[in-house]
Chains A and B, each alone.
Chain A
Amino acid sequence: EVQLVQSGAEVKEAGESLTISCKASGYKFTSYLIGWVRQMPGKGLEWMGTIYPGDSSTRYSPSFQGQVTFSADKSINTVYLQWTSLKASDTAIYYCARPTNEYGDYENWGQGTLVNVSS
């Protein structure tokens, strides 16, 4: 069974750095993309981009390019989403999700990580 388990909720102050994680199991980790999706409070889904754990290649949505960094650790089947300087507007739930192919179709989702940034 494919599972994506995300790290717990975070409460941070603006300007701080943060890394959240998404641990995958139940499939060959290096063979599938993993995407990140943001959901701001009471709002819709926003695609942030993807990472391919096989070679750690990344693709960022233009809206998130330069704002966040994706990385992966093949030894522990885990991908990461990192901020170097949080803003209050980063307050959201962040989901990792595994698509069946490069065209989207996100079949498996993590439970979400709530990031709350105070100004």
Chain B
Amino acid sequence: QSVLTQPASVSGSPGQSITISCTGTRNDIGFYSHVSWYQQRPGKAPRLLIYDVFNRALGVSNRFSASKSGVTAFLTLSGLQVEDEADYFCASYSGGGNILFGGGTKVTVL
């Protein structure tokens, strides 16, 4: 199955805002409102940040926000901090109990 398409890397300076895109198709992101976002720091398990397109998971900073338009979902990190350096993955339900992940985006804080 195809993965969702994310940019390989995004960077920004401390305090800035960055946005990561995640592009799917009409059969996944475009059809279902079950898009989630994960943060993965080196050597660690992924951590759920966002579920159902824009809902923050428990304990997640309100500097993280998300949305969806058509077949593309977006994750915005506001007030970028050094601790935000990590890999970020999107995921979408694609029907029949199946889940697709994005290829991942490496966020660098300059």
Contact = CB atoms under 8 A, between A and B. Distances in A.
A10 interface: no
Contact of B47 (A61, A109, A112): A109
A55 interface: no
Interface residues of A, number: 25
Contact of B98 (A45, A47, A111): A47
B48 A103 contact: no
B104 A44 contact: yes
A50 B97 contact: yes
A105 B98 CA distance: 12
Nearest to B35: A104
B38 A45 contact: yes
Max chain B C-beta neighbours (<10 A), residue from A43, A46, A95: A46
Nearest to B43: A112
Given A35-B99, A62-B1, A104-B99, 14 more contacts: A44-B89, A44-B101, A44-B102, A59-B96, A59-B98, A63-B1, A97-B45, A102-B97, A103-B32, A103-B34, A104-B91, A105-B34, A106-B38, A111-B45
26 contacts: A35-B99, A37-B46, A43-B104, A44-B101, A45-B40, A45-B46, A45-B91, A45-B104, A46-B101, A47-B99, A50-B97, A59-B96, A62-B1, A95-B45, A95-B46, A97-B46, A103-B34, A103-B52, A104-B36, A104-B51, A104-B92, A105-B36, A105-B48, A105-B51, A109-B46, A109-B47
